[in-house]
């Protein structure tokens, strides 16, 4: 297993809040930031201070919480934006500019070389005011590689400590990310960041691939929220890093709590089958599966629910087997004869085939019915 040299920058409070219809209160942002810090996330992008007075005040509040995580403020390549971020006492300012021909042509209507020169002056401004700079190339994945490398080289020459590669529209697949990131890392002597969107469902895979290719700072959001189809999911990435790369310095036991916190605050309901923190992530119905899990959970669980602060659930339905039913019945404190167990099993399968959920209350009714019929 090749070791990875990485850190996590979670952008839930900025990019996650750009999810259509999502707006966190400052109290909610403080709660999320505190939980991220507890997990051990190294960098928290606290917001975009120039957006509003309230946003600025909240970023400053988070920056002064005394967290172990470094706090980053997001900024356009404008002096006013950068000064607003600096006034928030952040550790780092992330200055972004579009670099693709399409974005520059539509947004600036002037040569991209001129856009770059103007942006480099803003890096100088931030550094002159004593703050570290992360330089972010927006739509980097659709920027021609020779120009992109030149952009990053110039930013590094002006003192940017991190260079961020943004797959802004989620257009890459892992093989493309591998090729591009390998080329960038070997061409520019600065740590790179991978900022991946999920438009084709590849954000987590692309982020892991970028790390394997040498990217240092990996960007995430809790539950993968973000514009359009969202960003790389924090909880999925951290579990993959633990299970596949042996990175165990993050406290994953808080992931489910954090995931549900962001679900509540954002108003975005998690898919029931969402990996790691979804309702069904550790739920089992198949009788064959449950019988094996009762002997050894590793048969059908690659990682344990307690690792991420969750619980295992056995669901009764048409696929339930006798051993699973006996386990569930015993957990309710009930004792049934062999004949009664078989009768309850028949009733469970009949109910589920009529699309009736077998809740604990329903199961208790079926148990009573089986006892009555056998008396």
CB count, 10 Å around CB of 161?
A: 14
Residue at 65 is within a domain: yes
For the chain, what is the domain count? Answer: 2
- The pLDDT value recorded for residue 1 is 54
- The pLDDT value recorded for residue 167 is 98
Residue at 277 is within a domain: no
Name the percent of the chain lying above pLDDT 90: 74
**Quick one: 242 and 158 in the same domain?**
yes
- The pLDDT value recorded for residue 271 is 96
**Quick one: 242 and 93 in the same domain?**
yes
What domain range includes position 61?
A: 7-266
**Quick one: 248 and 338 in the same domain?**
no
- The pLDDT value recorded for residue 375 is 62
With 60 as the cut, is the pLDDT of residue 75 above it?
yes
* pLDDT band per the 50, 70, 90 thresholds, residue 236: very high
**Quick one: 234 and 340 in the same domain?**
no
Name the percent of the chain lying above pLDDT 70: 99
Residue at 206 is within a domain: yes
Pairing assessment for the beta strands 313-314 and 43-47 based on DSSP bridges:
unpaired
Residue at 2 is within a domain: no
**Quick one: 205 and 239 in the same domain?**
yes
Residue at 93 is within a domain: yes
* pLDDT band per the 50, 70, 90 thresholds, residue 258: very high
* pLDDT tens by residue, 323-360: 888 888 788 788 878 888 888 788 888 878 877 777 77
Q: Name the one residue in this structure whose structure tokens are 């109290």.
A: 27
> Which are the contacts of 333, defined by CB distance < 8 A and separation ≥ 6?
none
- The pLDDT value recorded for residue 350 is 82
Output phi, psi for 278, to 5 deg.
-70, 160
Mean pLDDT of the chain: 93
Of the candidates 228, 222, 175, 174, the residue with the CA atom closest to the CA atom of residue 197: 228
- Measured distance CA(289)–CA(343) in Å, rounded: 21
Of the candidates 91, 3, 81, 106, the residue with the CA atom closest to the CA atom of residue 46: 91
**3-state SS, residue 217:** strand
* pLDDT band per the 50, 70, 90 thresholds, residue 256: very high
- Measured distance CA(238)–CA(88) in Å, rounded: 29
**Quick one: 260 and 331 in the same domain?**
no
For the chain, give the number of residues.
375
**Quick one: 251 and 365 in the same domain?**
no
- The pLDDT value recorded for residue 197 is 98
Give burial (CB, 10 Å; 0-12/13-18/19+) of 38: middle
**Quick one: 191 and 260 in the same domain?**
yes
CB count, 10 Å around CB of 370?
A: 22
**3-state SS, residue 10:** strand
**3-state SS, residue 289:** helix
Residue at 275 is within a domain: no
**Quick one: 299 and 262 in the same domain?**
no
Q: What's the whole-model pTM score?
A: 0.92
**Quick one: 250 and 308 in the same domain?**
no
Give burial (CB, 10 Å; 0-12/13-18/19+) of 78: middle
Last residue of a domain, one of 213, 235, 266: 266
- The pLDDT value recorded for residue 373 is 77
Last residue of a domain, one of 201, 232, 266: 266
CATH of the domain at 142: 3.20.20.70
Q: What DSSP string describes 25-40?
A: -HHHHHHHHHHHHHHT
Residue at 190 is within a domain: yes
Residue at 274 is within a domain: no
Of the candidates 321, 315, 367, 319, the residue with the CA atom closest to the CA atom of residue 343: 367
Pairing assessment for the beta strands 217-220 and 7-10 based on DSSP bridges:
parallel
**Quick one: 262 and 289 in the same domain?**
no
Is 309 in contact with 256 (CB distance < 8 Å)?
yes
Higher pLDDT residue, 340 or 211? 211
Higher pLDDT residue, 149 or 289? 149
**Quick one: 365 and 254 in the same domain?**
no
With 70 as the cut, is the pLDDT of residue 221 above it?
yes
With 60 as the cut, is the pLDDT of residue 206 above it?
yes
With 90 as the cut, is the pLDDT of residue 71 above it?
yes
């Amino acid at each position: 297993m090749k070791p990875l040299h990485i850190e996590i920058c979670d952008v839930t409070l900025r990019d996650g809040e750009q999810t259509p219809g999502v707006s966190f209160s400052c109290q909610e942002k403080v709660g999320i930031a505190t939980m991220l810090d507890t997990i051990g996330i190294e960098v928290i992008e606290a917001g975009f201070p120039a957006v509003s007075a309230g946003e600025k005040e909240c970023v400053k509040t988070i920056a002064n919480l005394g967290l172990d995580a470094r706090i980053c403020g997001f900024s356009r390549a404008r002096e006013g934006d950068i000064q607003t971020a600096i006034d928030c006492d952040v550790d780092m300012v992330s200055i972004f500019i579009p670099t693709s021909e399409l974005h520059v042509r539509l947004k600036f209507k002037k040569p991209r070389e001129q856009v770059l020169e103007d942006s480099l002056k803003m890096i100088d401004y931030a550094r002159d005011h004593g703050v570290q700079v992360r330089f972010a190339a927006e739509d980097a994945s659709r920027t021609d590689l020779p120009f992109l490398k030149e952009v990053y080289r110039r930013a590094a020459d002006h003192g940017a400590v991190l260079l961020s590669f943004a797959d802004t529209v989620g257009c890459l697949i892992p093989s493309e990310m591998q090729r591009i990131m390998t080329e960038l890392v070997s061409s520019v002597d600065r740590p790179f960041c991978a900022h991946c969107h999920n438009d084709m469902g590849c954000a987590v895979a692309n982020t892991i691939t970028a790390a394997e290719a040498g990217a240092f700072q990996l960007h995430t959001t809790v539950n993968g929220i973000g514009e359009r189809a969202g960003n790389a999911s924090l909880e999925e990435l951290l579990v993959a890093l633990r299970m596949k790369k042996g990175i165990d310095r993050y406290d994953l036991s808080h992931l489910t709590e954090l995931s549900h916190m962001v679900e509540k605050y954002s108003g975005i309901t998690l898919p029931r089958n969402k990996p790691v923190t979804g309702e069904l992530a550790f739920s089992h119905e198949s009788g064959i599966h449950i019988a094996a899990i009762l002997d050894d959970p590793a048969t059908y669980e690659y990682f344990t629910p307690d690792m991420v602060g969750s619980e295992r659930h056995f669901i009764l339905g048409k696929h339930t087997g006798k051993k699973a039913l006996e386990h569930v019945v015993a957990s309710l404190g009930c004792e049934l004869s062999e004949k009664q167990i078989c009768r309850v099993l028949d009733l469970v399968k009949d109910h589920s085939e009529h699309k009736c959920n077998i809740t604990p209350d329903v199961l208790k009714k079926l148990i009573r019915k089986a006892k009555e019929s056998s008396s």
